[in-house]
Structure 1
Amino acid sequence: MDPLQAVTFFTVGAAGWAVVTTRDPLLQTFVAGFFGLTLSLLFVVLQAPDVALSEMVVGAVAFPLMVLLTVAKARTGDRK
């Protein structure tokens, strides 16, 4: 295994662990976005650029945006 691959695997594992252990939904959204970026970097290192582009769009942009909108909508609904 290449050292770059090993470091990237470790970074993805650490980011995944950070997503699981984060309790605040707003902070967890940002950590999940970082996890998506590290996962797309792993796919680039593993020479799968098409999968990396898909992961970047879904995991680092679309999913965190949808969660942020949902959290914002839920928090404004609680203030009545």
Structure 2
Amino acid sequence: MSLALGFDLLLGCALLWSAWRALAAPGLDRAVVMFIVFGLLMALAWARLQAPDIGLAEAAIGAGLTGALLLDAYGTLRRRDTDQEGS
């Protein structure tokens, strides 16, 4: 088994693991972080498939922008919950 094949198998297993953890996470904060990790691993997978343009788009939009928006939405939900508990 070559080193490249071993890395590709490890990357595939990491993709499956991070996707499962994002779906089965007990809290929203962990799910969002695992979604970002999945997006970054997916960008690396696209780069390994010799599609760097799609990999850059995945990293910028999938992991970066969407991850930031999800983190902001989670922060807003958390602030709203603490405000309702205090009232």
Give the alignment's TM-score, normalised by structure 2: 0.81
Counterpart for residue 54 of structure 1: 57
Tell me the secondary structure at the aligned position of residue 23 of structure 1. Answer: coil
For each residue in 1:11-69, what CA deviation from the matched residue of structure 2 results, as whole angstroms up to 9, or x when unmatched?
A: 11111111111121111111111110100010011110000000001221111111111
Indicate if the aligned counterparts of 2:43 and 2:54 stay in contact, CA closer than 8 A. Answer: yes
Identity of aligned residues (%): 22
Q: Tell which structure's C-alpha radius of gyration is larger.
A: 2
Q: Which moved more, 1:70-79 or 1:28-37?
A: 70-79
1:33 aligns with 2:40: no
Q: Which amino acid aligns with 1:38?
A: L
Which blocks of at least 5 consecutive residues in structure 2 are unaligned? none
Give the alignment's TM-score, normalised by structure 1: 0.88
Q: Which moved more, 1:46-55 or 1:17-26?
A: 17-26
Match of 1:7 among 5, 10, 13: 10
Q: Which amino acid aligns with 1:63?
A: T
Indicate if the aligned counterparts of 1:5 and 1:46 stay in contact, CA closer than 8 A. Answer: no
Q: Which has the higher contact order (CA 8 A, sep 6+)?
A: 1
Q: CA RMSD in A?
A: 1.3
